[in-house]
Amino acid sequence: VAGVGHPRGVTGSAAGTPDRKPPEPSALEQRFEWLLASSRVLVVIPVVTLLLASFGGFVYGVVVFVRSFQDVVRHPVPVGNKIGLFLLVVDLFLVSATLLIAAIGLYELFISRVHVGGERRIPKWLEMQDLNDLKARVIAMIVLVASVSFAQAVVDFDNSREILEVGGGIALVVGALTVFLRFGSHGGGRGSA
């Protein structure tokens, strides 16, 4: 059957068949394809949710910072626990930034490139070409958050065995994410950048 296995619109030598127009899709096919193409707008729901969560995380980080700063001013000693409070602030900001990166990535992949006034308004490193780019950025942020969480655990824990257990668990997660990013991406590890 001529044209079977070839996408609509491919004719002639590109499809390996004589120049013939492919059959026109039925009205039902056209409606269904329009519905499928339009359904990508549903991604606006998680994008807005991620933006709100990111905003909430940044605000919460500021509140924790202000309270931690006040606590340090009132009671500067002991120092160890106070450092853990500030590492918590760093952790909150990194998680919030990860949510923001995910929101931008989903919007760029499903809806449209981010342009304001004809100019590109996001940094080059944040441009998403495919899902592997989004995975790479989110995984990199998760590794960073895990590292800060481990530093916070080192400051807060007194028991060296607990620190070793937490460090080992984080190392396993980071190792698994690195292997996934390197070998689990389509394109032979392209996402490893």
How far is it between the farthest Cα atoms of the chain? 84
Q: What is the pLDDT of residues 43-93, one digit of tens each?
A: 999 999 999 999 999 999 999 999 988 888 888 777 666 788 888 899 999
CA distance 51 to 47: 6
Q: What is the pLDDT of residues 141-171, one digit of tens each?
A: 999 998 888 888 887 777 778 888 888 999 9
CA distance 82 to 76: 8
pTM of the predicted structure, to 2 decimals: 0.72
Is 105 in contact with 134 (CB distance < 8 Å)? yes
pLDDT band with cut points at 50, 70 and 90 for residue 184 = confident
Mean pLDDT (the chain, rounded) = 81
Is it the case that residue 186 has pLDDT exceeding 70?
Answer: no
CA distance 145 to 14: 49
